[in-house]
Amino acid sequence: MATVSFQGTTKRFGDVTAVDALNLDVEDGEFLVLLGPSGCGKTTALRMVAGLEDVSEGIIAIDGNDVTGLEPQDRDVAMVFQSYALYPHLSVARNIEFPLRKRISSKEERQRLVLDVAKSLDLDEYLDRKPGQLSGGQRQRVALARAIVRQPAAFLMDEPLSNLDAKLRIQTRAEIVALQARLGTTTLYVTHDQVEAMTMGHRIAVMNDGILQQVATPSELYENPQNVFVARFVGNPGMNIVTGVVDSEARSIHLGGVDASPGFLHDDAYQFNGPLSLGFRPESVALSSTGLPGSVSLIERLGSEVHVVVTIETGEILTVRQAANEVIPSLGDSVHLAVTGKVLAFDAQTGERR
Amino acid sequence: MILTPKARRKNWGLAALFLFPSLFIFGVFTFYPFFENFRLAMFQTPPYPGLPSKYIGFSQYASILSSSEFMQSLLSTLFFVLLVVPTGLLLGLALAVAAHKALRGMAIFRVIFSSTVVTSVAVGALIFGTLMNPIVGFLPWLGINPNPPLLQSPTWALPSIAAMAIWQFLGLSFIVMLAGLQSLPDDVLEASRVDGAGAWTTFWRVTVPMLSPTIFFGLVVGTIYAFQTFGQIDILIGSQNASQLHVNVLLYYIYQSIQGTNPDPGQAAVLSIVLFVIILIFTLLQLRFVERRVHYAGK
């Protein structure tokens, strides 16, 4: 077990900066999720920890030791790849044993460890099979077994669930969380799926365009996003954002020059003055008889709840989360929206939280 | 789709039309000579030109296959194949590993390494002939003057020809190996490095097993290539000295049988069939035994 830290770590590919001066500390035993859209630099950051990508500037430290110049085999980390990256010519047993070959000379000891790990992941029936003869879920478990068998300082996981079907993904998600809790091994987990991040991570580090946006616990990230990007990216659907001018003394909000204050009932909305981006979660806004006028442009029924997507007069698109048993409007209906819950204020220019 | 008899006839006619060119070419240049060869092998050519050949059946096989000249030719051939194929494959793999690295300017080396594929045997033979020339060659320049010269020595003539055949085979071997290397998934090789294997272990335990279908293909193609070497011997040694310098490999022996003033098509036909059978057996043996150790993806 160990800490992992990025200290001003930068990676450039030619003129493109994939990871820009990243400062991030993963605590000992922590499950930290790197979350962001594709191309945000999260996988590059993970690969730099593994030693598979050179660092352009700054350092990577594992357990306080600078490992920036070390080869992957000298870093004592284990990685689970998106494609699983199993050795196709070796049996399941030999795949799991592979990382032990250099570390443990006794063959009996190696076999005992392989069997223990295989049993704990329900793989003991498949030890003689080749990866090509396994299902996606089984391959995934072999990749996990190969990572945990050597008890590394840290696990690095690169979207390990993205090749599984939806049901298996949810099941494996819980298994990985339980496994990490049992082993207590520091884990750095990369995903673009915010539900995965929210359900798995002790903390989540959100990245965009190579820049770290915010590091926080899942609930903190949801409640208090530091900028518009995080507000929109975290949550499903993301936070609603409208841009307008607020006058706190007059208690007015103008959206597109029209007074919209009847739509904002919560005092939060009037804390700051000037041009602002106002953010509120889909559950903080409701269909109402007065408020922001708009028309229904999409209805998504998810069973227990319904997402009503409304285009307001400024052209901005807002989502309302409704319980399925409430009155649901029809497509194209003219409606009014009232923001009843918490409103967050962001700088209209920079998008940073006020 | 159900067709009316008329439409079916039309389809057949069209198929025959499209097939005709390739059937014609294969028929004239492959199938007819192939079967004609079996017929020729049954006839003994008389020792004087102009006399009609005589049907003697399979007894011609016995007399040729038991001759000392055939045995010497067969041994030379096997030795030659043994020299050329493993060396050519290993060097091709080594060059491919070197050229696989994404370094600046590597494209030029890839072109150079694969260039022997488009170099004709005649040009290659002239280059090697010059290099090995006892007066103006590379060896005298290095101060090495073997006596007799390499290409006139019964010991060194065959290895010298093999060196040239290896060089000529290297282009194909390199291209095949490089294509194989480039098709390997990067993440498996990366997994091996993260799992604690150094470059050497990764190469032998991961790269080579995953490359085994490619190596196997190279082995089969290389063996067939080596068995059919002809031009190098004809240009560098020539028919006069081939047998005394032990370079009359089977294909060259076949050629010797039908050239000159008293050609012996019967003997040439028997030897061709023998060469055909040997290559067939080698290929089948490789398919049967070597392929067991080949790991195809997804199996």
Distance (Å, rounded) from C-alpha B262 to C-alpha A247?
114
Judged against a pLDDT cut of 60, whether residue A30 lies above it is answered with: yes
Residue of B nearest to A53 (CA): B190
Q: What are the residues facing A255 on neighbouring strands? A: A258
Q: List the domains of chain A with CATH numbers.
A: 4-225 (3.40.50.300), 237-347 (2.40.50.140)
For chain A, say whether B104 makes contact (Cβ under 8 Å): no
Does B191 contact chain A (CB < 8 Å)?
A: yes
Query: How confident is the model at residue A1, as a pLDDT?
Result: 67
- Please choose, from the candidates A325, A22, A27, A34, the residue with its C-alpha nearest in 3D space to the C-alpha of residue A205: A34
Instruction: Give the separation between CA B287 and CA B213, rounded to whole angstroms.
Output: 11
Per-residue pLDDT in tens (0 to 9) along chain B, 299 residues: 677 888 888 889 999 999 999 999 999 999 999 999 999 999 888 777 777 788 888 888 998 999 999 999 999 999 999 999 999 999 999 999 999 887 788 889 899 999 999 999 999 999 998 888 888 888 888 887 777 888 888 899 999 999 999 999 999 999 999 999 999 999 999 999 999 998 899 999 999 999 998 999 899 899 999 998 999 999 988 888 888 888 899 999 999 988 877 788 889 999 999 999 999 998 898 888 777 777 776 54
| Tokens encoding A222 | 């949801």
Q: Which chain A residue is nearest to residue B293, measuring alpha carbons?
A: A89
Residue of B nearest to A77 (CA): B194
ipTM of this complex prediction, to 2 decimal places: 0.86
Give the architecture-level CATH label for domain B64-293: Orthogonal Bundle (1.10)
Pairing of strands A292-301, A258-259: unpaired
- Report the alpha-carbon distance of residue B45 to residue B36 in Å, rounded: 15
- A202 neighbors A217 (Cβ within 8 angstroms): yes
Q: Closest to B209 (Cβ–Cβ): which among A77, A89, A103?
A: A89
Q: Convert the pLDDT of each residue in A70-110 to its tens digit.
A: 999 999 999 999 999 999 999 999 999 999 998 888 999 99
**Under an 8 A CB cutoff, do B210 and A89 touch?**
yes
Contact list in B for residue A72 (CB cut-off 8 A) is 190, 193-194
Min Cα distance A8 → chain B (Å) is: 23
Q: Domain limits of chain B?
A: 64-293
Instruction: For chain A, give the secondary structure using H, E and C.
Output: CCCEEEEEEEEEECCEEEEEEEEEEECCCCEEEEECCCCCCHHHHHHHHHCCCCCCEEEEEECCEECCCCCHHHCCEEEECCCCCCCCCCCHHHHHHHHHCCCCCCHHHHHHHHHHHHHHCCCHHHCCCCHHHCCHHHHHHHHHHHHHCCCCCEEEEECCCCCCCHHHHHHHHHHHHHHHHHHCCEEEEEECCHHHHHHHCCEEEEEECCEEEEEECHHHHHHCCCEHHHHHHCCCCCCEEEEEEEECCCCEEEECCEECHHHECCHHHHCCCEEEEEEECHHHEEEECCCEEEEEEEEEECCCEEEEEEEECCCCEEEEEEECCCCCCCCCCEEEEEECCCCEEEECCCCEEC
Cβ-defined contact of A87 to B206 (cutoff 8 Å): yes
Mapped onto helix, strand or coil, the DSSP state of residue B44 is strand
Specify burial of residue A328 (Cβ count, 10 A radius: 0-12, 13-18, 19+): middle
Which residues from A are below 8 Å from B191, CB to CB?
A: 79, 81, 85-87, 146
Residues in chain A with CB shorter than 8 Å from the CB of B196 are 73, 99, 101-103, 150
pLDDT digits (tens, 9 = 90+) for A109-151: 999 999 999 999 999 999 999 999 999 999 999 999 999 999 9
Question: What pLDDT score was predicted for residue A306?
Answer: 95
- Containing B69, the helix (H) or strand (E) segment is helix B68-100
Q: For chain A, list residues whose CB is within 8 angstroms of any CB belonging to chain B.
A: 50-52, 71-73, 75, 77-79, 81-83, 85-90, 98-99, 101-103, 130, 132, 146, 150, 156
Question: A85, B185: Cβ pair inside 8 Å?
Answer: yes
